[in-house]
Amino acid sequence: MTSPLLSFWTDLLSKLETRFFNKKSVLFSILKQTKLIELKEDQLIIGCNGIGVKKFLEAKTKEIEEKISLVLKKKLQIEFIIITSPKKTAVGVPLLSFEPPLEDIFLRAGLNKKFSFDNFAVSSTNQVAYAAAQAVVNNLGSAYNPLFLYGGVGVGKTHLAQAIGRQILERDRKKKVFFCPGEQFINELIESIREKTTQKFRKKYRSLDLLIVDDIQFLAGKVHVQEEFFHTFNSIISAGGQIVLTSDKPPALIKNLEDRLKSRFSGGLIIDIQPPDFELRSAILLIKAREKGINLDIEASKIIAERIKDTRALEGTLLSIYAKILGKKEVIDLEAVEEFFSSITDQEKQKKDTPSQIIKAVANYYNLKVSQLKGPQRKENLALARQVAMYLLRKRLGLKLIEVAFELKRKDHTTVLHAEEKITKMIMKNPGFKKEIDEIINSLESLT
């Protein structure tokens, strides 16, 4: 027997769809995944099956409230909460039956076990993609088909696509799921032609419940490959299967992609995943730290997220900082992060300095020509400037004595040793001269 709440909610959703939404509306598709938990005099409490769905709908609260008020002719407030489904227990399974571990099933499907919805950080830059991925899982083959995710490197396209495959298999191990990089599809097709096993290749791909192709743009420009994928695409869709595609650009902008494929890819839902914002990068860092058992202070994570914009570099930076504190501290704190970036900045500055830059900076400071510093003249002003250049080549770049002599066209490396000792003493004794050296160094750093 249908409960009054379910009947009310089903009827309300039907009226909302008729008046305000079309079949491709992301918002309505997500609303259909929810459940009415409680109906009060002036409030609806709606249950969501995940944090991503909740965040997405909360961002649209005002719009949803307005539409519901128009349908019901009564102003109601909406509150979204997360609900969890009870796990089903197997009944009547023979004691001797064997099921392979889920990890093995993931492996055969081409999935990486570390990619899941649980460790996918959601923010405003990817919440629509996350909600659409959840909709695909809940309505395989009918929600958005195909689901086309595009964006730059490190925005989470592969993670989200693999998370779809993972959750489908977690719900039903018998589903035929396969994750395939674009280049792998090409290589397997070429190998099947060479080995005369194209029928086997077609059977593998065309019988899938879910095909995920990562970096689909690699198929562009390859006529026979596109022909084969076109038929694979049609076979899966016509059988009620689902296709998820990722790319670095939308279908219309993929060069040398056949028009019929562009048309097929555009027939579902196309979502642009933007680069992660500061909040998302901070969340990603905290997730990575937790996965690796690293104690990361939240304020320290913010500093890293401010400095590192590339998502893929976040994990490397985290591990580099952890390696620095290992055995010294138990937590990555603000001090550890600041020390790390300070050392990186110094290294980058010194790496960018070249012998010619240093010699030119010294010449400019003393109103001389580079040819004069490298020339034979030994006037007092020239000799001092030359010695400063020698000193900086040694201190800034760590060049050997003979290398410094070569750069300044000196025959005897002992001249360099004398210059280094003399300038060091002058800096210690004369604050005004030290200021000159600092100004030359600052002029170098302003170039980096």
Burial class (CB in 10 A: 0-12, 13-18, 19+), 367: exposed
Per-residue pLDDT tens over the stretch 266-300: 999 999 999 888 889 999 999 989 988 899 999 99
What CATH number labels 4-82? 3.30.300.180
Per-residue pLDDT tens over the stretch 36-83: 888 887 889 999 887 878 888 888 899 999 998 888 888 889 998 888
- The architecture in CATH of the region 278-351 reads Orthogonal Bundle (1.10)
Poorest-confidence range of 87-101, 267-281, 306-320, 372-386? 87-101
Q: Rounded to an integer, what distance in angstroms lies between the CA atom of residue 349 and that of residue 445?
A: 7
Q: Where does CATH 1.10.1750.10 sit in the chain?
A: 353-445
Binned at pLDDT 50, 70 and 90, residue 30 comes out as confident
pLDDT at 412: 79
Q: Where does CATH 3.30.300.180 sit in the chain?
A: 4-82
Residue 340 has pLDDT above 60, yes or no: yes
Contact predicate 248/150, CB 8 Å: yes
Q: Rounded to an integer, what distance in angstroms lies between the CA atom of residue 405 and that of residue 394?
A: 11
Q: Where does CATH 1.10.8.60 sit in the chain?
A: 278-351
Binned at pLDDT 50, 70 and 90, residue 23 comes out as low
Q: Rounded to an integer, what distance in angstroms lies between the CA atom of residue 61 and that of residue 79?
A: 8
Instruction: Provide the CA 136 distance to its chain's centre, in angstroms.
Output: 21
Per-residue pLDDT tens over the stretch 204-262: 999 999 999 999 999 999 999 999 999 999 999 999 999 999 999 999 999 999 999 99
pLDDT at 339: 87
Residue 84 has pLDDT above 70, yes or no: no
Q: Which of 17-31, 86-100, 266-280 holds the top average pLDDT? A: 266-280
For range 399-405, the mean pLDDT: 88
Residue 426 has pLDDT above 60, yes or no: yes
Residue 87 has pLDDT above 80, yes or no: no
Terminal Cα distance for the chain, rounded: 73
Q: φ and ψ at 205, to 5 degrees?
A: -90, -40
Q: Rounded to an integer, what distance in angstroms lies between the CA atom of residue 214 and that of residue 248?
A: 10
Contact predicate 183/150, CB 8 Å: no
Q: Write the DSSP symbol of residue 42.
A: S
Residue 89 has pLDDT above 50, yes or no: no
Residue 2 has pLDDT above 80, yes or no: no
CA distances from 74 to 14, 78, 184, 412, 416 (A): 17, 13, 56, 94, 88
Cβ neighbours for 126, distance < 8 A, ≥ 6 positions apart: 155, 156, 160, 273, 274, 276, 280
Question: In percent, how much of the chain has pLDDT > 70?
Answer: 93
Domain over 353-445 is classified CATH 1.10.1750.10: yes
Cβ neighbours for 336, distance < 8 A, ≥ 6 positions apart: 300, 321, 324, 325, 329
Q: Rounded to an integer, what distance in angstroms lies between the CA atom of residue 121 and that of residue 271?
A: 17
Residue 429 structure tokens:
């004794």
Q: Rounded to an integer, what distance in angstroms lies between the CA atom of residue 219 and that of residue 274?
A: 23
Q: Rounded to an integer, what distance in angstroms lies between the CA atom of residue 167 and that of residue 207?
A: 19
Q: 94 or 131, which is more confident?
A: 131
Q: Which of 78-87, 101-110, 233-242, 330-339 holds the top average pLDDT? A: 233-242
Binned at pLDDT 50, 70 and 90, residue 446 comes out as low
Residue 93 has pLDDT above 70, yes or no: no
pLDDT at 150: 95
Q: Which CATH class is domain 102-272?
A: alpha beta
Per-residue pLDDT tens over the stretch 113-153: 889 998 898 888 899 999 999 999 999 998 899 999 999 88
